[in-house]
Structure formats: structure tokens, C-alpha cells
Structure 1
């Protein structure tokens, strides 16, 4: 029998003495078995597996199964999931019509994705079915369709016809195929797949927390994911790698010395995007993996400029401020060398993180409790109303 999410009653205000921390820094809001982060050691685990092990020895579909189910799949389980994902990649004609005729070409890609994901609920008969089985199927549909949405949007805004999903191959390969109109080479597919693995999950970050807050009200999965996309759109979260590439391009265009450029930014107290992290004090382990990928891709393309510039900036900021690079810092150059438009970097982040978001929703609904923190009041008290005519 299908199980539906339960709602554990919220406790009284006297359950515990309220604690306050700016930005909820260091506050443990809930327990989760999905990922573990040790910021001091630069350690990241998905369901107990080191991220470097997963990036080297699994693909994105295996990681999706792991996040949703708690274990890596057998070959037959993987085959079944791959079949389900391939079968769900196509979009409803009405959604494509919306992208063609009702989405301005200058629309922010994350705004286009946010709207399209919300629209997916209109064409899903299980949208409001809150059983785990239905929610897993929705997680599969979202993971399958989001790459199609992003690729279709990008081609339409360029005056090109969307490329239908091939119905075969990996999520990484089919995304690049739908985006560029030609099948990617083995190296591009492998790098894209590894990037999806690296971005799939990262604890209770802003977008994941937003999804769980929405999910905790027992709203549907599409509503929660739409909210998560809205949170990821912000430059302090998912938009950082766009700013990294814009910085690198600006340095190159001006012919500037990279360290002088960064010193000028620091003197104006500007944030160097892609550097520093709310959780990691050590180097983000995902940045290390992406840096190695960037080196391989740079050598393949015969262009080491972006890697060398990035290395210089990373070391300079580390020496000057003691801050390490995060995952966004090297992903920017990786995507650039793959020929991907800079404003698509954050949507690609979302194509991966959908697996983590949906895993957290499934976990939230296993033993649901409304998430309701308190705000410390710092406004006035004791005011009285002056009659309207005397104000």
C-alpha cells in the first residue's frame, strides 16, 4: 500500500529556548542521511561515498539512484532507471509552444526554467499524489525533462529549432546533443557527466533548504522545486560561476595582469566570486576534481589560458585572504571550454541538483515536520495610533 507523507505536529513555543545565528550559520535544522560535509577537512560524502570516488567511478544516473534510494544500483536497477529517464525526456507540445511564443529571447534562462518547471505540473496527472512511489516517478520526470527545457530554450532564443531528445545515451550526452545539434565526443560527455555528479547534492544549502521548507508544508514536488530554482538563481548561490567567467573574460579582454586586477577588486572590498564558502575552510573537494578536469580539457583544446589565469587568481586570493576556491571557480572555465553559453551555467547546476533536491524532499516526507523558525524582533514597541486626520 502506498505511503503518504505524515505531518508531525509542531511543538509549543516552550519546547526549547530559541537560539539566534545570522544567516542560520552553524544551526542544525534537521538530520539527514543524504550527504556529509566536513568543511575543515574538505570532505564531501554522498550517502557515505567520497565525492572523488563517485566522480571517477560512477555516472550521473548511478548517483541519482544512490541519492533517491540510499544504495548504488545493480546493473539491472541501473538499466531500469536509464530506461525510465530516456522515456521521460520529451516535453509536452504546449510547453514547447510556451518557450517558442511566450518567452522573450532576452529572458534570464533561470527564469525560463523556473516557469517551465512550474508548468510541468499541469501535464502530470500525479502532480498532487503524495505517495512515495508517485514522488519518485516525479523525481525521474523532473531529472529527465529539465535538460530538455534548457536546451530547447537556448536554441529557440537563437532562432533555431529545438532538437528532440535522442531517446538513448546518458543524460550528459543527450543534453549536449540537444544543445548543440550534434552528438558530443567521449571526452566532452565524460566531463559533462562528472560535472553533473559533482553538483548533484550538497547538504542543506539555500536552494535545498528552500525546497524542504516548501515540502514541509505538504505542498507538491513541483512547487518545492520551483522554489528551489528561485533560490539557486541568486548570484550568491548558483549564479557564482557566471560571475567567475565574466571576471576571467574581462581580465582577458583588458589584457590586465590577473593579480593586479584582483588586488584592485579587493581594495574596493568587492567579492571575488568562486572564492570562499560558507561551509568549507579547506579547499572544496569538488574544486580539486574540476581543476583536474579543466587541465585535461585545456590540453585537449590546446588552450591553457583560462586554467593558468584561474590558478593564479586562486593562489593569490589564498595568500592574501586565506580563502580557498569553491566548486564554481573551476566549473566556469570547464563549461566555457565545452562551448556552453555563460548564462546557462546556473541552469546546468539545476539539471544536476534536481537529484539532490528531490532526494531531500523524499527524506522530508518520510517523517514530516513543518519547518518554522522564529525571528528575533528588533522593532519598536508601545506605539499608539494617531488619528488619521492628525497624521
Structure 2
């Protein structure tokens, strides 16, 4: 069954569940928000409901209920690859069901049919200064594609039934995601390969076409792309990029406007740049020693860094309390395809030493590596050494999740998001009144 028909078959159940929760349990209190949380970025406060993915503190990210090991095992693969087709992952995200081989390949075919880029998109990019950051180009290109929005066109001409908005959003989502590998690869070529333009090949899947278009023909790198794009495709619905795109989309801004907003959030140093910072740190260690250090040498180095309160990038996580399964999946890839790579060996040596040192310090809730601790290392091994492009790779993957969240928000008819803000004086007065009331009660 194709993805549109599968989604349509699920609509009555999901809409009924959502309506019942609001009607029967609308006054149910989910969380109390503290002053510390208000001023601390609303960290940890439940503000969104999404069934696309969920980060379990002890198991890591789950896509539609499936853990990373389960996803990598269950999703269909290409005949010549060892890792899943990204089309299969997209079917899973959109429908909640593990696709058959045919259903996964149908998504890949849909993407090929929709992958053509309008000429004006690259005219916009070529007009920019050569020093423009690739994430700026990526966001601009998505905005330039907004001229193709099916939803924007239908809304302008009077689409009347809100219950049908999702169909146009799904079409926009398929169109945008189809174009992403061509778009991202040729931004890479524009920046780092003298502006050449490379077309996708019809016999390649979504991920291997990206590898081909940036000049990486090794089968191993195509598999790395499949793995990378699956692992980075989503991370709950309230991180900066996901929440930004949801917020913009809640105003009925189309998929292109919403995803560009999400990419602008992803481009922030506190969100999408961690992978390159981790790699820079590992390269700095190798440069310091002139080689991969021995275990005892690295332990002294790390103890000294921690003693100076230096930040060790790639370790710790806001939610996880175990090693990130996405780190483990990439480490297993590297052990299989590039076990002698020096930076990989160094990354694993850090993994062997650092967690116990962080535990001894007692200052961190999670001393284990996250996904960023290793993913730049793998890209670097295959010759993708332009650090400022790594966030585009992240964004290329993450839009798979963002478009799914946006589409399902329209399926469920979620309203425009409009939380309430307070003044500092109002907050102080609320606290003072509470103190008076407690005093009267003798507490």
C-alpha cells in the first residue's frame, strides 16, 4: 500500500484518540513549570505530543516505537548495501509501520520522479558570495523551493476543508525530501568542487545518489550515508529544529517555510554544530601528541583537561543515561569498514577512558558518548573534511523527521501554537502571594 493510502487508513483512529484526550481529559495536569525552568529554556517541560519518535533515557531514540538496533535490522535494504534504504525509514516515520521491500522501494521511486530542481534555485545560490556558509545556502535553497508548494497554491485558490490539508502537506513533504540529496550535494559542489553540477543517477537509491553526486563512489560510503541519514532523521518533537518547524507550521506556513525555519535553528552553534566540534577536539589531541597517544598518556591528558574544567565535546546528553545507540551503531560500522583509522581508534580510546573519569567527578548526569562523539570521524575518513558542511548533512537527514511531524500536525488538526508569557513583575507578585498564603496556613 502506498504511503498516502496507508496514512488515510489510519486517520479515523488517530483523530478519534486525539479528540477523546482533549474532550475527556482536557483538565488533566501533565507538568508544573518552575521559575528555574522558565528561565532555563523550558528544559524538560512536556510541551509537545508526537508519536514519530521518543528518546528513552535507557534505550535511546525510538522511531515509531522501534529502537535503533531494531530499525537497522527490520528495514529493507538495497541489493548491494548493508544498511537500510532511507525510503523505508521514511515510510516507517510517516505510517508507523515497517515497510515491505516493495513499499520501501516505492518511496525511493517517488523521490526519483520528484527530484528535479527548478533552475531558479541555483541561480539564487550562485548569486551569493563564495564565503557564504553552506547552511545559509541550504536554508535559502529550501525557501527558494517554496514557489513549488502545492499547499500554498491550493490555499490561495480556496482549499476549504481543513481535514484535507494534510494531503497537500504530504505532497510537499515528498517533493522537498526528494530534492534534498540533489540540493545538498550540489551545494557541496558549489562550495568545494569548483561549482560543478552533478545529476542523480536513476539506478541509485536516495542515499547512494548523494554519495555519487559529491564524488564518493566507494560502496562503503554509500552505506555510511544510509546509516547516517537513518540515525539523524528525528529526535523527538521539541528540540530546536523540530519545535521551530512545528511552531512555524502551526500558523499554516507550508512545509518549505517551516523546514527552512527548522534549518535556521539547526545552524545554531548550540544545536547542529556539535559533530564538527567533536572532530576538531580529536584532531587537536592527535596534533598534541603527533600520533594516537597510548592509553596512559591519554588518561593524563583527559584528567588535566577535566581539572581545568574544560568541556569535553560529545559526552553527556539532556535525556539519555546510557551510551547513545547511535554512537554504538556508527562505532560498529567503523569497526567493520575502517578499523585502522587513527581518529576512530582515538575516539574509541577516549570512550574507554573518559566515562569513568566523569563518574569520579560526580558532576554529570550522563558520562557516556552521544552521537556527535563519532559521526564527524566517519565522514572525515571518507574525505568529507569540510567541517562547515557537516551541519548540512545533519539537516539533510533531519528534514525527514521534520516533514513527518509537520504532516501529522495537519492530519491531527493541531492549532496555532500560542503559549503565554509573563513580565518579571507579574512573576515576582505571584511568588509573593504564594509566600503570604503559605504563611497564613502556617507552613
> Does structure 1 residue 359 correspond to structure 2 residue 394?
no
| Of 207, 211, 219, the match for 1:176 | 211
Is the CA contact (8 Å cut-off) linking 1:242 and 1:343 kept in structure 2? yes
Change (3 A) 1:127 1:317: farther
- Match 2:328 to one of 284, 288, 292: 288
Distance 1:42 1:122, change over 3 A: same
Q: Counterparts of 1:317 and 1:132 in 2: how far apart (Å)?
A: 47
- Does residue 73 (structure 1) correspond to residue 99 (structure 2)? The answer is yes
Question: Does structure 2 conserve the Cα–Cα contact (< 8 Å) formed by 1:242 and 1:345?
Answer: yes
The match for 1:374 is: 420
TM-score by length of 1: 0.86
Name the TM-score, length of structure 2 as normaliser.
0.76
Higher relative contact order (CA 8 A, sep 6+): 1
Q: Is the 8 A contact 2:52 2:63 kept in 1?
A: yes
> CA offsets, 1:9-33, max 9 Å, x none?
x9xxx99796232222221112221
Paired residues, number? 370
From the superposition, tell whether residues 259 and 122 of structure 1 become closer, same or farther in structure 2 (CA, over 3 Å): farther
Question: Does the 8 Å CA contact 1:281/1:324 hold for their aligned counterparts?
Answer: yes
- How far apart in 2 are the matches of 1:260 and 1:127? 59
**8 Å CA contact 2:134, 2:191 repeated in 1:** no
Residue of 27, 37, 48 corresponding to 1:30: 48
Cα distance change on mapping 1:15 and 1:326 into 2, 3 Å: closer
Select which of 296, 319, 327 maps to 2:371: 327
Q: Does 1:19 align with 2:54?
A: no
Q: Does 1:167 align with 2:182?
A: no
* 2:282–2:343 CA contact under 8 A, matched in 1: yes
How far the C-alpha of 1:215 sits from its partner, in A, is 1.4
Q: Match for residue 122 of structure 2?
A: 96
Secondary structure at the aligned position of 1:203 is classed as coil
Going from structure 1 to structure 2, the CA distance change for 1:168 and 1:252 (only over 3 Å counts) comes to same
CA contact (8 A) 2:246 2:405 kept: yes
Q: Does the aligned pair in 1 maintain the 2:166–2:408 contact within 8 Å?
A: no
Cα distance in 2 between the residues matched to 1:260 and 1:372: 51
- Greater share of helix: 2
The match for 2:145 among 120, 127, 130 is: 120
Q: Is the 8 A contact 2:150 2:171 kept in 1?
A: no
Q: 1:62 aligns with which of 88, 102, 114?
A: 88
Quote the Cα distance in structure 2 between the aligned partners of 1:23 and 1:94: 39
Structure 2 partner of 1:337? 381
For residues 317 and 128 of structure 1, the distance between their equivalents in structure 2, rounded to whole angstroms, comes to 54
* Structure 1 segments unaligned to the other structure (5+ residues): 383-391
DSSP-derived class of the 2:356 partner: helix
Give matches, 1:247-262, under 5 Å.
247-255=281-289, 258-262=298-302
**Deviation >6 Å, runs of 4+:** 14-18
Measured in 1, the distance between the counterparts of 2:413 and 2:337 equals 44
Equivalent in 188, 199, 211 of residue 232 of structure 2: 199
Deviation readout 1:341-390 (Å, 9 max, x if unpaired): 322211111111111111111222223133233345336999xxxxxxxx
Alignment correspondent of 2:431: none
User: Is the CA contact (8 Å cut-off) linking 1:248 and 1:309 kept in structure 2?
Assistant: yes
List alignment gaps of at least 5 residues for structure 2: 1-7, 76-83, 156-164, 360-366, 429-443
Larger radius of gyration: 2
Is residue 150–residue 172 contact of structure 2 (8 Å, CA) maintained in 1? no
What is the aligned partner in structure 1 of residue 159 from structure 2? none
CA contact (8 A) 1:118 1:226 kept: yes
Deviation of 1:260 after TM superposition, in Å, equals 4.7
Deviation of residue 265 (structure 1)?
A: 4.0
The C-alpha deviation readout for 1:291-324, integer Å capped at 9, x for no partner, is 111222323xxx3311221122233331222311
From the superposition, tell whether residues 127 and 335 of structure 1 become closer, same or farther in structure 2 (CA, over 3 Å).
farther
Q: Counterparts of 2:64 and 2:90 in 1: how far apart (Å)?
A: 11
- Structure 2 distance, partners of 1:221, 1:68, is 15
